[in-house]
Amino acid sequence: MIRDMASEEAAFLQEMLYAALAWRPDVELPPKEWVLEHPQVVVFHKNWGRDGDTALVAEESGRLIGAVWYRHFTESEHGEGYVDDETPELAIAVVEGSRARGVGGSLMQQMHERARREGVARISLSVDAENPAKRLYARLGYVEYELGDGLGRMILDLA
C-alpha cells in the first residue's frame, strides 16, 4: 500500500535518506546521526512539513518498506539536484530485502501523479553515475541534466 507519510513518521524519512546515501554496498558510511546532521544532508529533512514538502511511504503488513519524497529549494540553500526554485528535488529508498520487487517504481509513479495534480512541471534528482537506480529513473522518463558537471542531475518533465 502506498500512502501519504504521516507527520509522526518523519524518523522513517530520515532512515530512508540515510539508506539513499548508503546505496553502495561496499562502502560503509559514518553513523546515521552524524550523516544526517551534515550540512549537505540536513537540508533534505530539517523542519520536514514546510510548504511543498511531499512524502509517500510504502507499507506492507503494517511495516514501512520504502519512501519517496521531494522538497523545494532555493539558490541559497539546496542539494546537489537543485535546478531552480520551482523544481522540487526528489529522493527515494526502499529497505534492504524489499528492493527489486517494483516498490520503488510504484512509489515514483505515484509521486509523479501527485506532482502533476499539484501543478509541478518538473522534478529533479541527483544520482551517482554508478548507482543502478539510474536505470529505474531513465525508464521512468528522467533525462540527464547538464551532463559532465559532476552533480549527477536528472530531470523529469511532467508536461
Spell out the residues 6+ positions from residue 106 whose beta carbon is closer than 8 angstroms to its own: 2, 58
Residue with Cβ nearer ligand COA (42 or 136):
136
From candidates 73, 88, 104, 124, binder to ligand COA by CB under 6 A: 104
The candidate with the shortest Cα–Cα distance to 3, out of 49, 73, 71, 54, is: 54
Asked if 79 and 87 touch (Cβ cutoff 8 Å), the reply is no
Of residues 80-99, those binding ligand COA (CB under 6 A): 92-94, 99
CB of 114 to ligand COA, least distance (A): 17
Of residues 130-149, those binding ligand COA (CB under 6 A): 131-133, 135-136
Identify the residue whose cell numbers are 519517496: 68
From candidates 55, 103, 120, 155, binder to ligand COA by CB under 6 A: 103
Asked if 23 and 128 touch (Cβ cutoff 8 Å), the reply is yes
Residues binding ligand COA (CB under 6 A): 19-20, 23, 92-94, 99-105, 127, 131-133, 135-136
